[in-house]
Structure 1
Amino acid sequence: MLVHDKSVPLYLQLKELIKQEIKKGNLKPTDRLPSEKELCNIYKVSRITVRQALAALDNEGLIYRSHGKGTFVATPGVDQELITVTPFEETLHRKGIKPSTKCLSCHIISADFNLATILAIPLQSNIAHVCLLGLGDDEPLVIYNSYFPQAIGQEMMALVQEKIQKGHSFSTYDLYKNISTVTPAMLTQSFESIVADKSTAKILNIKPGHPLLQVTTIVYTADGRPTEYRIAAYRGEKYRFHITRPAGSHFSNN
């Protein structure tokens, strides 16, 4: 039960109690939580305390609210650290989720102005386009659209076909260890909130307008040569990215 101890706010205690019930499996995905009023009566706390606890749980992706229906336990999501590059398979395994990958497209195209500029190659050069679908427990999670200069692209396409035939789960970044001529040294990423169009919604098994997190990545070699341009669309309610970094001298008292 809750302890009226000023060192630990009541809403944090309530949040942890509900969180533990979820972790223990006493509250399962899609289970409806008691109403705010019911929680107030059960734990003898104010509605403000209950709302703060639910907001904290919602922020951690442990619950979700449906207008007019109530508050429910969320299905497990994927939490990925941004400091280091973690393979797709490893990221899902850490969450106890079974990863798998499907190849939606794998062919040579001509680079338009945008792709030629990003990959630092002549306009109309041949490039490889690889489109992969990442799944967790057979549920679509993310679409990867990757573009490569032709030389490395040919190797990438061959590796993709090989991995698919063997039933392996992967993203294109996982395949660089099998290519001796190219070693990624740095990548830049930008993050943007978007909504799913009809074609994307169909692939991810969601409705058009569903929130997505779009991550745009450019991979570089040690000499600054672009080797991959990737646009990934993650299901917003399934994927969460986080970063831990030092506060720096701005907060120093000196």
Structure 2
Amino acid sequence: MIERESGIPYYWQLMEIIRRQIVNGRLKEGQRIPSEIELSSAYRVNRHTVRQAIGELCRSGELYKQRGRGTFVAKPPVDLFEYRLSPKTSFTDDIREAGKTPDSRLLAWREVTAPVHVAEALGLAADERVFALDIRRLVNRQPFLFSKVFLSAARLPGLAGFIDKFRSLPAIYDAYGLSPRRVKSVFRASFPEQEEAVALDIPGNLPVLKVESVLKSQDGVLIEYSVSCYRSDFAKVSIDW
């Protein structure tokens, strides 16, 4: 019960009570917790205190709300996997070196006129063409990141005829004798777009880390622009320049 004379804020005590009930199994993953009215009555605190406790537990990822249904116990967090970005990052090699199983899947591709922001990033003319690839990458069969990759069509002539045969970007670059290096990355936190949430199998209110990157070929030509969306509940990203 709430200790009235302890000096510890009531909402904090209620948070710890709910946490203990999750740890000891009284409240299980996916189970709806008692309503604000029920908790207020059971622990003899006002609803503002209950609302504050639940809000903090939702912000920490221990609970989540569903509109019209109530508040539920969230899935326990998994250990974050550190992915190191470097000028010559190879997803497959890096994941294998960490003792885990990588997988990359080309979900879709199309050849299009470069969107304005892509043309600016790659220094292309307004009417130049790019290949747009949607790629999902997994670690130990779990979705890890989703990338939208744009490749300069002028640097990869004929790719449209056999792009489906390639399982990875390094394989494409090897076929053209290219050895791209990362020259710029911009990080930002946001919520996923619907397409990203579906690809990563996450709820739309789970924050993600987005990394915009530009790669340059060995002869100094800008060749790739990408936006990669990392799951915040699974991935942490470090930089190794």
- Give the letter for the 2:144 counterpart: L
Q: For 1:212 and 1:129, how far apart are their aligned partners in 2?
A: 21
CA contact under 8 A between 1:32 and 1:72: conserved in structure 2?
A: no
Change (3 A) 1:92 1:74: farther
- What is the CA deviation profile of residues 21-53 of structure 1, one whole-angstrom value per residue up to 9, with x for unaligned ones? xxxxxxxxxx9599xxxxxxxxxxxxxxxxxxx
Answering whether residue 137 of structure 2 is matched by residue 134 of structure 1, we say yes
TM-score, length of structure 1 as denominator length: 0.59
- What is the CA deviation profile of residues 166-210 of structure 1, one whole-angstrom value per residue up to 9, with x for unaligned ones? xxxx4x256423321x33244211111111122221111111121
Q: For 1:222 and 1:95, how far apart are their aligned partners in 2?
A: 28
**CA RMSD of the aligned region, Å?**
3.2
Query: How many aligned residue pairs are there?
Result: 179
Per-residue deviation, 1:74:
4.2
Answering whether residue 182 of structure 2 is matched by residue 179 of structure 1, we say no
TM-score, length of structure 2 as denominator length: 0.62
CA contact under 8 A between 1:212 and 1:234: conserved in structure 2?
A: yes
Change (3 A) 1:163 1:72: same
- Give the letter for the 1:115 counterpart: V
- What is the CA deviation profile of residues 207-251 of structure 1, one whole-angstrom value per residue up to 9, with x for unaligned ones? 112111101001123454211111100101211122479xxxxxx
Residue aligned with 1:210, SS: coil
CA contact under 8 A between 1:196 and 1:210: conserved in structure 2?
A: yes
Answering whether residue 93 of structure 2 is matched by residue 90 of structure 1, we say yes
- What is the CA deviation profile of residues 134-157 of structure 1, one whole-angstrom value per residue up to 9, with x for unaligned ones? 012222111111111113345666
The equivalent of 1:149 in structure 2 is 152
The equivalent of 1:213 in structure 2 is 209
Structure 2 residues not aligned, in runs of 5+? 1-21, 26-59, 65-71
Using the TM superposition, name which of 189-198 and 151-160 deviates more.
151-160
The equivalent of 2:126 in structure 1 is 123
| Higher gyration radius (CA) | 2
Identity %: 16
Residue aligned with 2:233, SS: coil
Q: For 2:226 and 2:161, how far apart are their aligned partners in 1?
A: 18
Q: For 1:32 and 1:90, how far apart are their aligned partners in 2?
A: 37
- Give the letter for the 2:238 counterpart: H
Residue aligned with 1:86, SS: coil
Larger RCO, structure (CA 8 Å, separation 6 or more): 2
Q: For 1:142 and 1:190, how far apart are their aligned partners in 2?
A: 16
Q: For 1:90 and 1:185, how far apart are their aligned partners in 2?
A: 15
